[in-house]
Amino acid sequence: MIDHTKILKSKKRLGRHEKLIIDTLSDYFEKVGYKVLPHSRFDIAWGSILSDVDLLLIKNDALTLVEVKSSKDNLSRVKKQFKEIRDYVDYVYIATDYYPKKWPLDNTGRIVIKDGIIDFLKKPEKIEQTPTVNSIMSLKKSDLTTMLGLQKRQTNNITKYVMATQLRKEKTGEDLRIMLKTAVTCNLQVVNDSCLEYSAASN
Amino acid sequence: MSSEFSGTDDFLFVKAKKGYYEKPVGRPGNNYVAPKIDYEKKDEDGDWASKEFVTQVSDTASFLSKKELLVENEIFYVLSSSVLPNNPDIEKSLRKLSADVLSYLDSTHNRLLVIGNKEDLTDLVEQKIPKYVENTFHMLRPLNLKDHFALTLQNWQYGKKLVMISTLPNLPQEKNQQYLIEIKNFLINQGADVYNYEFLDELFVIANVDINILKKLIDSSTLVYKVFGLPEAITKKTAISKKLSVKPTIAEPSLFQFPKYDVNKLPIVVVLDTGISKIPQLDNLIVSRSSFINDNLDDEESGDGHGTPISYLVSLGEEHGNPTARIISHKIWSPNIIDRVFDGLMDGLNRFSTISKIFVSSINFKEPLDDELLTKINTKIQENNVCFISSAGNLPEREIVALIQNNQRHQSYFQNYPVASPSDAPIVTSVGAIAKKTSNQKSIRSVSNPNDISPFSRCAFRNRPLFDCKKPEVVEHGGNVNFDTTTGNLSTAGVGVTSVSKNGNVVDHLTGTSFAAPIFARKVAGILTKYQTKIKNAETLKAISIISSKKYSEHCSGFGEPQPIIGCDHDHALYFAEGEIKLEERKGRTIGITYHTIDFKVPGTAGYFDVCVVHSDNFKKTNVPSLNTYVRIDVNNWSTKSFLKPKIGDRDAKTNVKILRYYYDRKSMKNIWTLRITPKIIMSIIPSLQKDIIVRYGCAILLSRKSTKSSVYSISNEISQMELSGEND
């Protein structure tokens, strides 16, 4: 069970155009029964740009990410962002305020908000592929230690790469995806420092 | 247009009070012999029942021992009982078999699908089967291929099909998920195409699969309960396309105006249809557009469209008036994809029930839906507490022509054309069509007179009546049909429903129950717009709508044509109440009966009052879309403790929509009255299942004056004066 209260807040500043889209979608998704978390951040050991998510939706433990690109933004950047983040979520939507001539990805959902109407142009496909070693390595080492069921001292001399490959060997793709989702939302049993930091701040 | 329900007096909310009493259970005399039920053979039983009962049990155990079980010893089988469903021996025998009822498989509750324990079944054979178990059941058998495949798939012998696969009904949620995942994994490993749907994953596995793979799965495991094909559906716009130039002359539809509200505060109505095109008339009124079937959100129906004029009618009505609703369009049908309506409906109900209380769909299935699928729709609507409005369906044009040419009066042929699914689900509000306009040309005869049932509208249940329930429940303007006596052609020009086409043009030739359903939806939305969160139950919305109905004919028009009702005039007052009541429950040698009472004041100038109670129940353990419960209505005043019998209507009628009228022939009605609602079971069931049944209801009480000049005050005003003076308290 993903506890949404543990999810980190983003510190990134939001553009005016993006905010309008995010607010409209937040209101809509909340009414249709999702737990809505605008401006969130995944607990990953990257720079904040990639770990920040515009809108995160939770329903029945499924994580849906909405990546917002206003007409002022560059839609082609979504491809890279999607590649980096797809292993941590179940569904991805791209939301814009215009009808692009060409959409960058086929398997994401597509939303256009124009003239006050939310058009769901395409349903997102469920992401089911086994997480890559890179995605696993991007988690905090303390998370990987927990996922392997080891103590901190046991992994002092092991690299994250070794731990990630070990996890890929040991776990099924589905289990690994669940673990990754749990880790990036600070829901692993052993909470790492950054998740604690946030908890302290929010208290 | 009468304005009796468009006055400024608000409805009066009454809080229902709970009551409870116990009564002893009558004990059978010494010579009492419990009645026996004859065994009714079904196709899927084969010759199983002709075996000795002990052989049936051992054969079932041995058959199931060949299957791989997901949960150790967990098996499923069918029982046919030889005693009445409430006979205590059934529960005693089930305990002996360590079995629990998952679902009743027939409307008389004599056939049970149970979940049991394999070891206990084997042990039972090795020990000795008690006599009371043998006397309680005619038959015990495993599920076979006939049980596993829906009727439409019984002849499927080779090749792939897109199917919905369901697990055993009423399994606990987590277990159900586990079974569904196992089915998916098996099919994926066998190379079948398995599809994921965010909002359907809890219900079915949808897959394109070869029959042999399915048979392999069914033979080797107990994961699958039933395999369904995807039922085809049609938009029920009548196919009458020849537009003769005829001007309407008589009886324009109502020009009632709803008040103007802030658009952002309007309730949302979900239109499950053919999509909606962006037209300027609906600016600011569309919340979202989505599609279950393809990436085109526009209205794909040819000509004037279907979803767009329907959405227009929901929000702005035929009178092009003030909006009463905002629209969510969820597309479930296109001319190229006609077989995804069932899963589209379920998806829409799952997706939007937190945002909307009113759903409307004017798409009907070509053939009656399989009982289990219809039950699933019924259950989902009840669980979600939404008002689901569906068109009753239309007769095909060629049949209308043939009937007219055979000189049949159109009222006479309706009984042969029952309402189309999903309109035949007990909880769905089925809307039939009446005509409002007629032609004035001599050579062109309009088939129906104004306010008569339209020549294409359907009525009644398929197969058998559902106790005292009516279908359609209401009628709305759905257009007329003109018959050119010289050419034999049919046309609808000038006598249809007025709306706006998908191109934004005003059109007045739309005919079909498709367009009657949204007109009713608009009236329901009008109530919700005004009373917002004061109304919690979908049943209350329906009760208020129906109590205002005007009945023009006894024939096929249900409770009649509802009026737009948002407040009352000088000569009417409306109370409403709602709640949930537990069904009576046996406790040892007594039966505990829970009921609700509603107290309301009737001033002396009121001549009579009408009561409308709409209810539904949460009983899920049945595969048959039937009425499981009804409510008994008792009415008395505070002066005389005896109950007053209704002058019109039957207080014990077995229906989910009950209308009763009360008045004294000579005495004044002035008093405080109490209305008592007591839920009852229709077909008896096992007592342990009965205790979990909760009946949800909505009640409307409409007070009317016999004479319109009997007071300078409105009835609502007189009621408040009674309260101020403490009169009758």
Q: What is the pTM of this model?
A: 0.92
How many contacts (CB atoms, under 8 Å) link A and B? 45
Residue boundaries of the structural domains of chain A: 4-122, 133-202
Using a 10 angstrom Cβ sphere, with 0-12 exposed, 13-18 middle and 19 or more buried, the burial of residue B508 is: middle
CA angle B1, B4, B7 (to 5 degrees): 110
Q: Which of A123, A174, A178 to mutate to test the interface with B (most CBs of B within 10 A)?
A: A123
Cβ proximity of B386 and B357 under 8 Å:
yes
Q: Look at residue B57 in the predicted model and tell me its pLDDT.
A: 94
How far, CA to CA in Å, does B442 sit from each of B484, B485, B486? 9, 9, 10
In degrees and rounded to multiples of 5, residue A76 shows phi and psi of: -70, -20
Nearest-CA distance from A18 to chain B in Å? 19
Nearest CA distance, A121 vs chain B (angstrom): 5
Return the residue matching tokens 């979520």: A89
Tens-place pLDDT, residues B208-253: 999 999 999 999 999 999 999 999 998 855 545 444 444 444 344 4
Q: Do B289 and A62 touch (CB under 8 A)?
A: no
Query: What is the CATH code for B233-547?
Result: 3.40.50.200
Q: How far away is chain A from the Cα of B233, in angstroms, using its nearest Cα? A: 22
The residue count for chain B: 729
**Closest chain A residue by Cα to residue B296:** A121
Chain B residues near residue A172 by CB distance under 8 angstroms: none
Query: Is B286 close to A116, i.e. CB distance below 8 A?
Result: yes
Longest pairwise C-alpha distance within chain A: 58
A101 reaches B (C-beta below 8 A): no
Selecting from A115, A120, A128 the residue whose C-beta is nearest the C-beta of B288 gives: A120
What is the distance between the alpha carbons of residues B596 and B20, in angstroms, rounded to a whole number? Answer: 9
d(CA B230, CA B245): 41
Q: What is the pLDDT of residues A78-124, one digit of tens each?
A: 888 888 889 999 999 999 999 998 999 889 999 999 989 999 999 99
Residues of A in contact with B351 (CB under 8 A): 32
Q: How many angstroms away from the CA of B173 is the closest CA of chain A?
A: 12
Which tokens is B249 given?
A: 């002359």
pLDDT of the residue at B608 = 94
Topology of domain B12-25+568-725, per CATH? Answer: Jelly Rolls (2.60.120)
Q: How many CB atoms lie within 10 A of CB B712?
A: 7
User: Best residue in A24, A89, A113, A120 to probe B by mutation, most B CBs within 10 Å?
Assistant: A120
What's the rounded Cα separation, in Å, for the pair B430 and B432?
Answer: 7
Whether the bond between B172 and the residue before it is cis, its omega within 30 degrees of 0, is: no
**Polymer length of chain A:** 203
Structure token digits, residue B446? 């309009």
| Closest to A22 (Cα-Cα) out of A89, A59, A73 | A73
Q: How many angstroms separate the CA of residue A122 from the nearest CA in chain B?
A: 5
Percent of chain A beyond pLDDT 90? 43
Question: Are the C-beta atoms of B635 and B600 separated by less than 8 Å?
Answer: no
CATH superfamily, region B43-143: Peptidase S8 propeptide/proteinase inhibitor I9 (3.30.70.80)
Q: Where are the domains of chain B?
A: 12-25+568-725, 43-143, 152-224, 233-547
Cβ distance of B288 and A62 shorter than 8 Å:
no
Decide if A29 touches B, using CB distance below 8 A: no
- Does residue A169 register a pLDDT over 50? yes
Q: Flag residues of chain B having pLDDT under 50.
A: 1-2, 239, 241-253, 728-729
Nearest Cβ partner of A119 from B196, B289, B355? B289
C-alpha B462/C-alpha A197 separation (Å) is 65
What are the CA-CA distances from residue B498 to residues A116, B494, B505, B520, B525 (Å)? 26, 9, 10, 14, 19
Smallest Cβ distance to A117: which of B196, B288, B352? Answer: B288
Chain A residue at shortest CA distance from B353:
A32
Q: What pLDDT shows up at residue B400? A: 80
Residue A193 pLDDT: 58
Distance CA B495, CA B104 (A): 47
Architecture of domain A4-122: 3-Layer(aba) Sandwich (3.40)
Nearest-CA neighbor of B634 among B618, B650, B617? B650
Determine the pLDDT at residue A202: 46
Determine the Cα–Cα distance for residues A117 and A28; give it in Å rounded to an integer.
11
CA–CA separation, B90 and B687 (whole Å)? 10
Helices B173-189 and B211-220 pack at an angle, to 10 degrees, of 130
| Residues facing B657 on adjacent strands | B614
Q: Are strands B429-434 and B286-291 parallel, antiparallel or unpaired?
A: unpaired
d(CA B113, CA B77) in angstroms, rounded, equals: 6
Say whether pLDDT at A13 is over 80. no
Q: What is the pLDDT of residue B255?
A: 59
Residues 6+ apart with CB under 8 A from A119: A111, A112, A113, B288, B289, B290, B297
Q: Please state whether beta strands B326-331 and B268-273 pair in parallel, antiparallel, or not at all (unpaired).
A: parallel
What pLDDT score was predicted for residue A72? 80
ipTM score here?
A: 0.85
Of B196, B278, B284, the CB nearest to A126: B196
The Cα B226–Cα B148 span in angstroms is 4
Residue in chain B nearest A61 by alpha carbon: B198
Residues of chain A positioned with their CB less than 8 A from the CB of B354: 31-33
Neighbours of B680 (CB within 10 A): 14
